[in-house]
Amino acid sequence: MVRTIILNTLAALTISGYNNSCHKSGTAQSIVDNETKQDSVSGYASVNGLRMYYEIHGTGAPLVLIHGGGSTIQTTFGRVIHAFAKTHKVIAVELQAHGRTADRDRPLSFEQDADDVAALLKYLNIDKADIFGFSNGASTTLQLAIRHPQQVNKIIVASTFYKKDGAQPWFWSFMAKATFEGMPQTLKDAFLKENPDTNALHKMGERDIARMQSFSDISGELIKTIKAPAFILIGDADVVRPEHAVEMYRLLPHAKLAILPCGHGDYIGEITTPQDGTLIAATISMLNKFLSEPITKVN
């Protein structure tokens, strides 16, 4: 049984960095479509030589959503956007080479993605925002908090690691052999729904694989410089080792930690995971509570 779970997970990890496909659903995309309200404003912003796609849902305090690798807004956050938009002005983005945001002539990096999101916030005249990143998007969130602290209010970093040994032992040996063919078909179909260019899909896959194969640690000293209140979120069957999440919790000066009984992204209903409404609702409630709490003095 354990071997079967690992093999199923590996198939999904190839492109997304660490998406969990242990429980794929044939109706996943239709669930996302049905649950995402079509009441958004969308557009493109010219930032750092990139034409970046974004959506805005709801009103209230700004909350930026940053998707995982190989993903789009819908595949990562489609089941939770509307819930967060009830209390926040949700700004959901698609990063370089993903979905409706075109590629450009430079490799992917979490640092560049962070700079692009920071530039988008300036474009939208948003001085400061809460940031919620999932998987690769959480790595971008850490870089935002390090590189652009003046634009960051609170951060939620879900299912990510800041150094290589934060992943489960099998992850890097698998990534060394990752191929486009191993990308979950659900993610391929979702990409092509938003961008029918198959060449762009292949390029995204190649870039995501290359980025993870050249992953560089963030030093513990840099993690300690993050002053924004942080919420670290993983599943106990995640790609991230629970011990690593605790380590990151200890390093961040103002952090909370939740380790939920689930896999990678189950807690937000990421498209390759089952729809566990109770778990998703609990996650939304927990994160909304964190986001609504006043910030005490942060030195």
Does 66 reside within a domain? Answer: yes
Does 264 reside within a domain? Answer: yes
Q: To 10 degrees, the CA torsion angle through 267, 109, 242, 278? A: 0
Q: Is 257 exposed, middle or buried (0-12, 13-18, 19+ CB in 10 A)?
A: middle
Does 164 reside within a domain? Answer: yes
Does 137 reside within a domain? Answer: yes
Does 298 reside within a domain? Answer: no
Residue 277 has pLDDT above 50, yes or no: yes
Query: Per DSSP, what are the bridge partners of residue 257?
Result: 232
Provide the pLDDT for residue 16: 44
Does 297 reside within a domain? Answer: no
Q: Tokens 């794929």 identify what position?
A: 24
Print the domain residue range for 276.
2-292
Mean pLDDT of the chain: 88
Burial 208-243 (b: 16+ CB within 10 A, else e): bbebbeeeeebeeebbeebebbbbbbbbebbbbbee
- Contact indicator for 207, 103 with CB cutoff of 8 Å: yes
Provide the pLDDT for residue 296: 80
Provide the pLDDT for residue 119: 98
Nearest by Cα to 238 from 220, 225, 257: 257
Model confidence, pTM: 0.88
Does 299 reside within a domain? Answer: no
pLDDT tens digits, 118-161 = 999 999 999 999 999 999 999 999 999 999 999 999 999 999 99
Q: How far apart are CA 89 and CA 209, in angstroms?
A: 32
Structurally, the chain folds into a number of domains equal to 1
The values of phi and psi at residue 228, to 5°, are: -65, 140
Provide the pLDDT for residue 39: 63
Q: Average pLDDT in the 44-50 region?
A: 97
- CATH number of the domain residue 227 falls in: 3.40.50.1820
User: How many CB atoms are closer than 10 A to CB 72?
Assistant: 26
Q: Average pLDDT in the 190-210 region?
A: 96
